[in-house]
Structure 1
Amino acid sequence: MGETALGASLAAVLGDPALAFPLALSLRIALATLALHATLGIALGWALARRGWWGRGLVDLLVMLPMVFPPIVLGFALLMALGRRGLGGWLEAHLGFGFIFTEAGVWLASVIVGLPLIVKPVEAAIAALPRHLAEAARTLGHGEAVIFARVILPNIAGAVGAGLLMASARSLGEVGVTLMLGGNILGRTNTISLEIYNAVTVGEFRRALVLSGLLGIVSIAVLVVLRRRAGAPL
């Protein structure tokens, strides 16, 4: 009887037409975030692994902020910076574009919170590479772009994969920054994570439980993959 009731609850929640938009939005945001993490994240990791350039400390600090700042505080700071009284006013006036309470804001929040989890593993992996690999390629006349693509990147593929998995899982579960930048507007900026928040606020705990279970399964899957890649027992 209990299994029947559980199955009915799952069917009722997952079959709700209102869930189609947050699922689609979360998927779009996840794919767009993954694309930027795979480019900007790797580029920043490579840059931070190269010591001694001016401004490196500031860039490293900005990358790490989402790891130490409370998400709601970081979200509020971005809201002030990107709102109409900040950079957002200029963007809207000159480009007709803004981040606040838009899908772009949800995407920005997703990128920011996951960025440290791809940048730092890539930085550590590059810093740990033997110097003679790149030096040998330079003696053969290869430029830095070729060295990165053919020498460095293949040797840090494991760190890149692990970082992208962790960053994607973290971004998918983001609430605080997304709530501030996206505004949690139904049918416009409400992601699956925000749907859990919405369900709890109105007392729909069964709905919150099912959606939390879905995100929990994704997180566990990421953990299993990471442990298998590391050769650790499950």
Structure 2
Amino acid sequence: MDSPLASLLDLFATPGNRQMLWLTARVALAGTLLHALSGLALGYALARPGWRGRNLLDIAVTLPLVFPPMATGFLLLLLLGRRGPLGEVLQQWFGIAPVFAFSGLLIAAFVAGLPLVVKPVQAAFESLPKILPEAARTLGKNEWQIFCYVLLPNIRNALAGGLILALGRSLGEVGMTMMLGGNIEGRTVTASLDIYNAVTSGDFERAAAVSLLLGLISSGLFFLLRRNARAPLGW
């Protein structure tokens, strides 16, 4: 039996394995970009009290934290499938089939990690002194300038920490990924699904190798998270 390290090196030796790893990386990179944009927008919106629909949006964002991933994936499948209310519209009007494709994997990663970005960003916005934007307004700055040059530098630590947590969460997602991606070999199998498939087929060496790879990545993310927690404001 090969050692986990030797099996890990073997992962990069075949085109099929490299395709699986590249697919995982693409989902992670695209998901991080979406998390950054959506986390800022939703965190900022939820930090502003008193507008209609705020509580409903807060519930929708937070729900994936407490709802079972497989059940969340099933609900998304009903919504985005070919016969779903949103999936049918996307298929007929734009020719987009969101599930059983890269888009399904991206949606699963996005939904899984979103609350881990939004909630820290929301808390950071809420903790900022109200005098900061008010002082900027008295100096003639518009709302966009206030957001970019006053608010954003003061919440970037929270954003960075949330993105690290969301990336780790999305890399390990299985339930929603399986529901929306379909677990199709060569097309929608990411690293976390590859571990599941290896275990169910009895290939424990492969499962150990991919687990080791994700473990190394997770250790790196943990190091970044600790470094970010010790960083001064505005790092």
| 1:55 counterpart (33, 53, 56) | 53
Structure 2 partner of 1:223: 222
Structure 1 partner of 2:95: 96
| Structure 2 gap segments, 5+ residues each | none
- Structure 1 residue 219: deviation in Å? 1.3
Find the aligned partners of 1:157 and 1:207 in 2 and give their Cα distance: 38
| Structure 1 gap segments, 5+ residues each | none
Of the structure 1 ranges 86-95 and 180-189, higher mean CA displacement relative to structure 2 is found in: 86-95
* One-letter amino acid of the counterpart of residue 44, structure 1: L
- Structure 1 residue 228: deviation in Å? 2.6
Structure 2 partner of 1:67: 65
Aligned-partner SS, 2:141: coil
CA deviation profile, 1:115-169 (whole Å, cap 9, x unmatched): 0111011000110011100110111222211110010000111111111111111
- Structure 1 residue 17: deviation in Å? 2.9
* One-letter amino acid of the counterpart of residue 33, structure 1: G
- Structure 1 residue 36: deviation in Å? 0.9
Of the structure 1 ranges 9-18 and 60-69, higher mean CA displacement relative to structure 2 is found in: 9-18
Aligned-partner SS, 1:110: helix
Alpha-carbon spacing, 1:31–1:133, altered in 2? closer, same or farther (3 Å): same
Structure 2 partner of 1:132: 131
- 1:201 matches 2:200: yes
- Structure 1 residue 199: deviation in Å? 0.5
Contact 2:64 2:112 survives alignment (8 Å): yes
- Structure 1 residue 177: deviation in Å? 0.2
Structure 2 partner of 1:84: 82
Identity of aligned residues (%): 53
Matched length: 230
Find the aligned partners of 1:100 and 1:15 in 2 and give their Cα distance: 30
User: What's the TM-score, normalizing by structure 1?
Assistant: 0.93
- Structure 1 residue 38: deviation in Å? 1.1
Of the structure 1 ranges 6-15 and 129-138, higher mean CA displacement relative to structure 2 is found in: 6-15
Find the aligned partners of 1:98 and 1:8 in 2 and give their Cα distance: 39
Alpha-carbon spacing, 1:186–1:147, altered in 2? closer, same or farther (3 Å): same
How well do the aligned residues superpose, as a CA RMSD in angstroms?
Answer: 1.6
Structure 1 moving runs of 4+ over 6 Å: none
Structure 2 partner of 1:154: 153
User: What's the TM-score, normalizing by structure 2?
Assistant: 0.93
